[in-house]
Each structure stands twice: as C-alpha cells, then as structure tokens.
Amino acid sequence: MNILAIETSCDDTAAAVLSNGNVLSNVISSQVVHDLYGGIVPELASREHMLLIAQIVDSAMAKASMDLASIDAIAVTSGPGLAGSLLVGTHFAKGLALALGVPLHPVHHIEAHLYSGYLEEPTLAYPSVTLVVSGGHTSIFLVESPESYQVLGSTTDDAAGEAFDKIAKMLGLGYPGGPAIDRHAAMGNAEAFAFPRSRMHEDSYDFSFSGLKSAVRRVVESLSGKDKPLPIDDLCASAQTAITDVLVSKTMRAAKANNVPAVTIAGGVSANTELRQRMADACSQAGMQFVAPRMQYCVDNAAMIGAVAAMRIARGHSAGTVDFCVDPKPIRRR
C-alpha cells in the first residue's frame, strides 16, 4: 500500500510517501516570505503553495524512488487551517486522485498531530495523553485508540506559539520567535521576572496566555528608554519558564488523572528545549513512557497525514468521494 500525502494547511508546503506505513520521504518547504511581515499573511501563503506544490510532490516521489503509477491512495489535509492554503492542497490532491484513478483520504490536521507519537514510536501504548502545541493550537487530548480521542482542554485565547512569537516581537527578536527565545533563554535567569502562570492551579485543562503577554509588555515598557539595554536573556528565560510551567503541569495532571501509561507532544513549540527536557523528566518521575517525535514529525508535515490515512486503510475504511469541502474551522470539543 503506497500512499502519497499532501499538507498545505498553513505556511508549509509538504508532501510525503509512505509504503505499508513506513515513511519513504517527507519533504517540507517552509515559506520565508512571511518573515518580512512578522506573521503569516494568508494570501501570500496560498500563492506560495501554488508555486511550490507540484515541485514538492515531485521531490517527495523522487526521494521515495517511486513513480505516480505505483501510488495506491492519496491523503490530504482537509482542515483546520487557512482556507486558501487548504484549497491549494486539496484541489491538487483531488485532480491527481482523479487522474490516477486512486482513492483520496481527507485527513484532519490535528488528528494527524495527535498520532505523530505513534508514527515515531509504533509501540507507544494506548491510551496516551498528547499535548499539541504550535503557533495555532494549544490543546491536551486523551488518545484512547486509533481513531478515538477527545479534547481535555484548549487555550481560551492565544496559542503558546503565538505567545512566543508576540513576546519575541516585543523584544525585537524577529519571526518566528520561539527558536530565538529558546536560544536567549539558555543564557538567562528564569527567576529574574515573576511572570503569571494563568489558570495553572485551576481544575480545568484550559490554557490562557494573553495575561503573560501583557505582563511582558508592561515590564518591557517600564525598562525601555533607560540607559541600560533590555535584559533580553532574563526576559526570555522568565517568559519561557512561565509558559513551560503551565504546559508541563497541566499535561502531567491530565496524564495522572486518566492513569495513562504514555505521554507525547507535537506541534512546532515541542521543539522547545526546556519543554522537551521537563516533559521527559516529569514522565520519568511518574513512570510513564514519553515520546517526543523527531522535529520533522512535530512541525507541520505530510508524513503524519499519510500515517492517519494508512491507519484508516488498515482498519478497512474506504475513502469516500473526492467531493468533500475543506473545513478551515478549528477543532471543537467533543
């Protein structure tokens, strides 16, 4: 069973080839055009996808040493995401599926992030608790089995990645801000500023990061215009630890309350050094298996989209028709 998978939900144009569930290629092209604007510009994102999609698919096929005649099914992200971006990937996939006469599987982007821990480590136990943390999402899920999962909590305002990006912008560190904050934090004192840990001690698994963003803004305003330069390293370390404290404590509380044997993380923010280390330590202390997928499975990628389709095909599901619509709406609580 050879699957070609396509992902264009946001600002990464991605294609992958899987054979019997094994990833043969996983090509990701991250758009740099948005860096000039300090955030993703949806119209530019869809235009970039239009320019790149055919060559990224070609490249994934070439890296897998496969030709299109050997493809048995196509998988594509149908939502959530930016409408224009989703339309480029889904229309390309629909056209190719019709031309090749193969089934087309629409895949939910967040569902794909949820199972990327199983893509990395197929022996990962069920049920697991997964933290999906990116520029667009911050949610905790209970993953009960293949195709069965529920949302335990989500952010009520900014996603954690958005908080990283906005704080980096205030500090003049450019976009995307997460990697820069990660680097500066390694040289700073996390106790220099007492930033808020919103909702950390509430029973719910919901998050809020807008208070932290305002608190950092107030400190930056009060320190600006003085003779001394801003203590960038200390501000980064203090903000990063505030975000990580909340992410780790809520995820571990969910894992313990649901008595799961395993915990995973996914999404761009899971690249964060402090988050990975502290999640690993907390799981080891709790005697739980912890899987942090390699970065090319954590960021937006097509291998995870193909893996969900492979899982469905293995369970005997058929693809349906190519006549589906994209669904840009974010995930809803069940």
Choose, by CB under 6 A, the member of 10, 16, 27, 167 that binds ligand KG4.
10
Say if residues 250 and 140 touch (Cβ distance below 8 Å): yes
Question: Is residue 87 at the binding interface for ligand KG4, with CB under 6 A as the rule?
Answer: no
Tell me which of 153, 177, 188, 306 binds ligand KG4, using CB under 6 A: 177
Residue 177 contact, options Zn ion, ligand KG4, none, Cβ 5-8 Å cut-off depending on partner type: ligand KG4
CA–CA dist 188, 236 (Å, integer): 7
Which CB, 234 or 300, lies closer to Zn ion? Answer: 300
Number of residues this chain uses to bind ligand KG4 (CB under 6 A): 19
Closest by Cα among 332, 299, 300 to 151: 332
* Residue 103 contact among ligand KG4, Zn ion, none, beta carbon within 5 to 8 Å by kind: none
Per DSSP, the residues of 117-140 read HHHH-TT--SSEEEEEESSS-EEE
Which residues in this chain contact Zn ion in the complex, by CB under 5 A? 134, 300
Distance CA 210, CA 276 (A): 23
> Minimal CB distance to Zn ion: which residue?
300
Tell me if 267 contacts ligand KG4 by CB under 6 A.
yes
Q: Of 128, 134, 138, 238, which one interacts with ligand KG4 (CB under 6 A)? A: 134
3-class SS of residue 269: helix
CA atoms of 315 and 29, how far apart (whole Å): 31
Sequential DSSP letters for 246-263: HHHHHHHHHHHHTT-SEE
The verdict on 176 binding ligand KG4 (CB under 6 A) reads: yes
Task: Give the Cα separation of 306 and 247 in Å (integer).
Answer: 28
Residues of this chain, 281-300, that bind ligand KG4 according to CB under 6 A: 299-300
Chain positions 138 to 167 lying near ligand KG4, rule: CB under 6 A, are 161, 164-165
Under the rule (CB under 6 A), what is the footprint of ligand KG4? Answer: 10, 134-136, 161, 164-165, 176-179, 182, 267-269, 271-272, 299-300
